[in-house]
Chains A and B, each alone.
Chain A
Amino acid sequence: MCYHWPVRGIFFVINGIFYMRVLTFGWDFPPSRNGGLGVACFGLTRELSRDGVEVIFVLPKKQDTIGSPRFVFADTERKINLYAKVYEIASSLIPYHSSDNLVQSLVSYDAIGCPVHKTRTILEEIHRYAQQAAAIAQEEKFDVIHAHDWTSYLAGVAAKVASGKPLILHVHATSFDQAAGNNVDSEMFKIECEGFTQADQIVTVSQFTKNILIEKHGVPADKIQVVHNGCDNAPVPRYEPVLKELKAQGKKIVLYHGRITIQKGVDYFVRAARMVIDVDPNVVFVISGWGDMQNQIVEQVGKMGLSGQVIFAGALWEEERDRMYQTADLVVMPSVSEPFGLVPLEAILHGAPSLVSKQSGVVEVMTHVLKVDFWDVEEMANQILAVLRYEALGKQLREYGRQEINRLSWSEAAKKIYQLYRNLVNYIHS
C-alpha cells in the first residue's frame, strides 16, 4: 500500500535535530470557537513545528466551505503556515455532540437557489472522515499518525491500516466525561475501545483521564502516557473592565465560563450561588457560555429566586471573554468530570483566581487554585465566600498562580510528544 514513499519513512537527522513528518487528525482549530480542544491542538502543533516536526493537520470541514479552501488559522498565526499544511475534508463533524446527534450538511442548491441539506448522524460522519483519512494517508508521506479526540480515532486507525505507520491517539475527553458518569454513549464507547486497541500509544491530558481509561476501558497502564496541557503565558493586554456599575456598587463578581452541559456542573454552581447570596447579598454570579442545559439552568435560577443575582452573559469569546476574566473576583469551574480544564489557566493569566472541582485534570498541575468536590455545594459556597471575605487569599492565589503557570508551557508538552514520536519511529526502524 505504501508504495510511493521510502519504506523507512521520511525522517532524517541534521545537526542532531530529528526531522520527521506527522499526519495529524483533528476536528477543531482556532479561531473556530469550540473550546479547549482546538486551543490544545494549536498549541501543540505550533511547538512541534518549532522542534523540527513537520505537521500535516487534517481537519473535517463543512461542505459549504469546500471549494474555497480557507485555512482555519489564517488570521491568527500565519507563521504556522510555513510548517504545517492544513487539509480540510468534506465532513460535518461538530464537536461535543453524542454519536446519534443529527447534523445537516449542505449538499447542493436547487433550481431556485435554495440550499439542499442532507442529514446524517455524527457516527456516519466519523466513518466518512475515516474513509477520507485512508485516502489522505496514501497520498501523503509521513512517519507517525497522531489523532486528536474521539471523532478522529477512526480516521487515525484507517490511516494506520492504509500506511502501516504507528498511531498515537490523543485523549482530550472520554464518553464518561461527556455523560458525567451515567448514560454513556455506547457508540462512542465502542469507537474509543476500537481506537485504544489499535493505537500504538495513547496520550491522555491528565492522570485523571488515564485512570478512566484503565478502569473503564481496560487499557493497560503502560500503554498510556500523561501529557498535561500547556498554557500560553505571555502577558496579556489589560482591557477596560465590564460590569462597571455593579463594581462601583461594591458588588463582587463570580464567573462561570464554559459550555452549559451536564458535564460542566453548572447546576452545582447555581446551588452554591444560592448559599453564597444567603450570607452575602453583595455578590453577582455571571454565567458565560452556551449548551444543551441552558434552559434548565435558566429555570433553576428562576426557581431558586436568583434572577437578580445571576447574569447570563451568553457565549463570550476573545476580547469579551478576557474582559470578563479581568473583571471577575473569582472564576469557578465546577465540572463533574473534566479531563483537563483550561479555564483556570486562562483566568489566572488575566488575573482572576479560580476554584476548580477535584474531578478535573488541572488540579494535578495547579497548586494555587482552590479545590473542591463538585458535589460538595456547601464547601463550594464556603470557599467562594472565603475568597471574597479574605483579601490575602485572592491576592496570593493570583500572584502565586501567575508564577505557577509560567511552568506550564506548550513547549513542555510538545517536548514529551516529540520524544514519543521519536521513540516510536526509532522502535519501528530499529
Chain B
Amino acid sequence: MLTVCPYFHVHQPYRVKRYRVFDIGNDNQYFNDNSASDLNNSRIINKVADKSYRPTNKILKELLETYPDFRFALSFSGTVLDQFEAYAPDVLESFQALVATGRVEVLADTYYHSLAFFYSLPEFERQVAMHARRIKELFSVTPRVFRNTELSYRNDLAKWCEDNGYLGIMAEGWDKYLGWRSPNFVYQPAGCSKIKVLLKNYKLSDDVAFRFGNRGWASFPLSADTFGNWINAHHGDGQTINLFMDYETFGEHQWEDTGIFDFLRALPKVILRRADTSFKTPTETILAYDSVGTYDVPDILTWADTDRDLTAWNGNDIQRDALAKIYKMEDDVLKTEEIDLIESWRKLQTSDHFYYMCTKWSQDGDVHAYFSPYHSPYDAYIAFMNALSDLQLRVQYALKAKVAMAEKEAVVTIHLSFKMRLLAWWRRLYSTSSFFSKKIGKK
C-alpha cells in the first residue's frame, strides 16, 4: 500500500507600501497602497485569484466530486483569509466548499505567517490560538496537524506541538537529518513520544513546484503519467509520498501555459489507477502508519533554498536588525491594549517582509532570482523600518496617554475617598451632636 499526501500552502502577506520617512507621524496606514504596483494588496489578491485560486479551486472541486478517494490538505495564513474576506469573498467561499466535503484537511499555523516561535514563544502561542479560532469560525474544523511558517522546524517545536495536543507536525525531509533513510515513512521527532512528523519528499514536490515549467529541465514537459510512474516506483520502499508545496504553484508560480492545470486535473486518475495506491490526508497518514525511526533536528530547518535554514529571512544585518526591532516592541505594544496597534505590529511580523530584504542571491549578481514587490532589498528595509518607526511613535503616545489616564483616575479616586471621609465625618458629627443635644435635652 502506498498513499499520497498532498498539502498546499495558501498565503499572501500584507505588503508595506512605499512608506517614507516623511510619513512617520502623519500616516498610520502601512498596507494600503492603491497604485498599480505590486505593493497594492487588494490588486495582488485579485490578480492571483484570477490566475490561481479561482481556476484551481474549480478543478479541485471537480476532482473531489469525481474521485471519492481523492483527498489533500490545505494550510492558510490568517492574513490571506482576512484578505480574501475583504477583497475576494467568492474565493473564500470556494475554499469553504472544498473543506466542507470532509476530505480536505486544514492544518494549524501561525495567524500572521510569522517566525515568532524563534523570537517570542508567548507571541507564537497567541498567534496559533488566534489561527485556530479563525479556522474554526470559517471552516468549522479544528486543526490537528501543525505546520510552521516556511515549514520551519526544530525539535523543540515538535515538543511544543506534542505538549499542546497535536497529532503531528510537518517538516522538510532533508538529507542532512535523514541520512540514508527515506522521507517516505512516518517518523517520530526526537524527544517526543506521541507526536509524528511527516516529511516532505522534496524531489517529487519540487518537480511540480519549481521545475514543472522549466524548458531546460530534462523531464520537460512533465506529464501526469510520468509523474504517476515516479510515485509508483516507491512501492515497496515507502508508505507515504508527501507532496508539500505552495498552493500558488498552480497558475501563479507555474502559469497556465505550462500545462499545470491539465497536470493537476489528470493526476488523481493516474494515481488511483492502481488499486494499491491512494490518497490520505495528513491526519489519516499519521494514524495509518507507525513511526519507523527518530527525526532529530537540533537546528532550524526550513524548506527554503539549498541551505534549508532561516538565512533567507535573517541572514544579513538589516534583516536581523528589523527582526530584533519588531520583537523588542512586544511588551510595549501589548501594554497599550489597542487592537489597531497590536494588529499592525503583528502584520509587520509576517516573514515575507524579511524575505524581501534578503541579499543572499545578489552575491552571484542574480538579484532577480526571487520574487519581491520592491526594487531592492534596501527599499524593502527602508519602507519596513519607516512603518515600524511610526508604529513605535504611536505606541509611545498610547502608553503616555494610558499613564495620563491612570493618573487622572487616581486623582478621581483620591477625590472620591476625600468625599467619603467628609461624609463619614458629617455622620459622626451629626450623631455626636444629636447625642449632645439629647444629653442637653435631658438636662
Please report A residues at the B interface, Cβ cutoff 8 Å. 275, 279, 367-368, 370-371, 378-379, 381-383, 385-386, 389-393, 395-397, 399-400
Contacts and interface: CB of A to CB of B under 8 A. Distances in A.
Contacts of B316: 396, 400
14 contacts: A275-B22, A279-B21, A368-B359, A368-B362, A378-B20, A378-B22, A381-B21, A386-B382, A389-B21, A392-B317, A392-B320, A395-B317, A396-B316, A397-B378
B312 interface: no
Nearest to B384: A390
Given A378-B22, A382-B20, A390-B385, A371 B362 contact: no
A429 B408 CA distance: 95
B188 interface: no
Contacts of B249: none
Contacts of B382: 382-383, 386, 390, 393
A374 B359 CA distance: 24
B376 to A, nearest CB: 6
Contacts of B232: none
Interface of B: 18, 20-22, 316-318, 320-322, 359, 362, 365, 367, 375-376, 378, 381-382, 385-386, 389
A371 B375 contact: yes
Given A381-B21, A386-B385, 12 more contacts: A368-B362, A370-B378, A371-B375, A371-B376, A371-B378, A378-B22, A382-B22, A386-B382, A390-B385, A392-B318, A393-B381, A393-B385
Contacts of A400: 316, 359
Contacts of A386: 21, 382, 385-386
A393 B320 CA distance: 11
A197 to B, nearest CB: 33
Contact of A279 (B22, B320, B321, B375): B22
A382 B365 contact: no
Contact of B317 (A279, A379, A382, A396): A396
Contacts of A389: 21, 385, 389
A367 B321 contact: no
Contact of A367 (B362, B385, B386): B362
Given A386-B385, A396-B316, A367 B20 contact: no
A370 to B, nearest CB: 6
A332 B298 CA distance: 46
Contacts of A367: 359, 362, 365, 367, 376
Contacts of A368: 359, 362
B20 A379 contact: yes
B320 to A, nearest CB: 8
Nearest to B21: A385
A371 B374 CA distance: 12
A255 to B, nearest CB: 19
Contacts of B386: 382, 386
Given A367-B362, A400-B359, A393 B389 contact: no
A340 B381 CA distance: 26
A270 to B, nearest CB: 18
Nearest 6 Cβ contacts at the A-B interface:
A392-B321, A367-B362, A382-B20, A385-B21, A396-B317, A386-B382
Nearest to B388: A390
B321 to A, nearest CB: 3
Contacts of B22: 275, 279, 378, 381-382
A397 B386 CA distance: 18
Contacts of A391: 321
Max chain B Cβ within 10 angstroms of own Cβ: one of A378, A389, A390, A400: A390
Contacts of A381: 21-22
A386 B383 CA distance: 9
Nearest to B376: A371
B397 to A, nearest CB: 19
Nearest to A365: B365
